[in-house]
Amino acid sequence: MIIEKILQSKKNANCILDLEKSLLSDDEDGILSSMDTFQELFTQLYNRKMIQLSSDLDTNEEKYRLWLIERKNDLVTNLLTYLNYENENIQEKSLEVLMTLVRLEGAHKETWNFPVELFDKIVNELLNSNINQEVNVRKFQEYMQYDDILLHSLKAVMDILNKIEEVTDIFLTNLFYLLNTIRYPKEFQADGYNTFLSQNNSKTAPFFFKKRQLRRLFSDVWQRYLKFPLPLPLLKKVLLVLHKKVIPHLENPCLLTDFLTDSYSQKGVISLLSLNSLFLLMDKYNIEYPDFFIKLYSLTNAEVINGKFCLRFFYLSDLFLSSIHIPAYLITAFVKKLSRIALVSRADSVLRILCLVINLMIRHKSVSVLIHQEGPNTAGEDPFDFDEPDPAKCRALESSLWEIKTLQSHVVPSVCRKAKMINRALPYLELENVALNVSMNSLYKNQRKRPFAEVPLAVCRPLKICL
C-alpha cells in the first residue's frame, strides 16, 4: 500500500505529491479515494509523532517534518474548498477528514489544548457569506453533541461576529443553521465532560468550563445575532425556535423584549410567530406588555385563521385565553369575532373555530349571555363592530351568537353537529382539540364513506305511465 511505502522510507515521500494530484483531479471517485488515503496516512503520521517539532531533531529530520506539516496545511486548504463541492458525498467526506485532523492535532499534544486555529477555519467556512452551507451544517450537527465542540463553536462564532465587516443574508442564514444545531445540555455527566478530543493523554488539567461560562457565551452570540436585520424568511425560522431552543438557556431572557415586541408589532405571520416567545417572557419572566390582548385581537382575522400557521394560532389562542381572570368583555369579543370569521372560512377552519368558541364558553360562563339573547339575528341588526380594533369598544356583549346558529345549516354535517351544541346545556368538560387534526381532504374522505339511504336528486323522478 502507498501508506506503508511512505512510512517505510523518506525517499517515498513524493508519493504524497501524487496523492495531492489525485485529490485535485476531476475524477470524483479518485477524489474520495485520495481523501480516505490522506485520512489514514495522517492518522499514522500523528501516531508516530512525525507532525511534531522538537529541539532534539537533526536538520534533515526537521526539514522533513516541516515539509509534512506543509502537506497537511495544503490538505486542509483543499478540504475546505471541497466543502463547497457540488457532490454531497465529497462534501461529507471533506468535513469528516477535517474533523479527524482536529482530533489528531488535539490528541497528540503534551497538554490538553484544543486546536483552535484549525477548528476556526472550519467554522469560518461553515459561515460562508456567499454559499449556502445547510448540507455541511447538518453533517456538522453530529459533532455538536460534544461539550468541547459546542464551546469552541460558540467562541469561533463570537470571534467571527466581532471581526466581520459586511454581513450578507447568506451569512445570516448559515449562522442560523449552525446555531439551530445546538442542543444545549440540560446537565453535564457526573463522570466528566463528553468531549470530542480524548483527555486520557493529558499531563495537565483536562478540558473544563463552568456552566455559567457556556450560558453567557450562548447568550452573547444570540443577542448579537438578533441585532442584525434578518430577512423575512429567516426571521420566521428564528421565531419558530426561539421559545424552545433559545430563551430557556439565556442568561437574561428579558433582553429579547425589544426584539419580540418589534416583531409582534408587525402584521400577519411575523406577529403570530412571535406570540409564543413574548407570552413566555410575560408568563415566566414578568415582562409587561399591556396591549398584548389588543394585538392578539387585531391578529384574529380570516387570513391567519385560514393560513399556513393556523394550527399554531388556535393552539396559542386557546393557551392565552385560558385564564379565568380575563375580563368578560374581552372573551366575548374574541368569541364574536371568531364566529363572524367562521361564516367566510373553510370547513376545517370552521370546525377549529367552533371547538375553540365552545371551550371558551365552557371556561368562561359569562359568555353564555350571547346564547340566551334573542337578538340580533342578522349582520345588519348586529351592534357588534367587527372592524373595531379595541375589544372594549366593539359592543360584543350586546350581541348574540346568530353566526353559530347560521352554521347549523352548513353543508358539512360535522359542522352542523358541532354548531348545534349551543342548543343544549354545554358539557362540563372542555372538548378535545380533535378539530386541530382535520383537513379539507379528511372531511371529503369521511363524507365519501358515509352511507346514504336516499340520494337527493336535482330533477323530479319520471312518472310511471300505465297503459
pLDDT of res. 190: 44
Pick the more confident residue, 385 or 109.
Answer: 385
* Phi, psi dihedrals of residue 50, rounded to the nearest 5°: -95, 0
Residue type present at position 254: C
DSSP conformation letters of 225-289: HTTS---HHHHHHHHHHIIIIIGGG-S-GGGGHHHHHHHHHS-THHHHHHHHHHHHHHHHS----
Please say if the pLDDT value at position 203 is more than 60: no
Q: What is the arithmetic mean of pLDDT over 100-117?
A: 81
pLDDT digits (tens, 9 = 90+) for 248-306: 999 999 999 999 999 998 878 899 999 989 989 998 888 888 888 999 999 999 998 98
C-alpha cell at 164: 466581520
What is the rounded CA–CA span in Å between residue 443 and residue 133? 41
Give 192's pLDDT tier (boundaries 50, 70, 90).
low
- Determine the pLDDT at residue 176: 97
pLDDT at 101 exceeding the cut of 70: yes
Q: In the predicted model, is pLDDT for residue 435 greater than 60?
A: no
436 has pLDDT over 80: no
> Using one digit for the tens of pLDDT, what is the confidence trace for 296-314?
999 999 998 988 888 889 9
Give the confidence band of 452 by pLDDT, cuts at 50, 70, 90.
low
Q: What is the mean pLDDT of the chain?
A: 87
C-alpha to C-alpha distance for 391 and 297, rounded to whole angstroms? 7
- Specify the higher pLDDT residue, 44 or 203: 44
pTM beyond 0.75: yes
Lowest pLDDT segment from 93-107, 133-147, 422-436 = 422-436
Residue 42, pLDDT score? 92
With cut-offs at 50, 70 and 90, classify the pLDDT of residue 57: confident
Position 72 pLDDT exceeds 80: yes
Residues 6+ apart with CB under 8 A from 144: 150, 153, 181, 182, 183
217 pLDDT above the threshold of 90: yes
For 386-419, give the DSSP string: TT-S-GGGS-GGG---HHHHHHTT-SSHHHHHHH
What percentage of the chain reaches a pLDDT higher than 70? 89
CA distances from 324 to 86, 126, 330, 433 (A): 57, 49, 11, 19
- Residue 13, pLDDT score: 85
| Mean pLDDT, rounded, for 112-135 | 92
Write the pLDDT tens digit of every residue in 76-90. Answer: 999 999 999 999 999
Q: What is the pLDDT of residue 386?
A: 93
**The predicted structure's pLDDT at residue 61:** 87
Q: Are 105 and 87 in contact (CB under 8 A)?
A: no
Residue 204 has pLDDT above 50, yes or no: no
Tell me how far apart the alpha carbons of residues 460 and 153 are, in angstroms, rounded to a whole number. 77
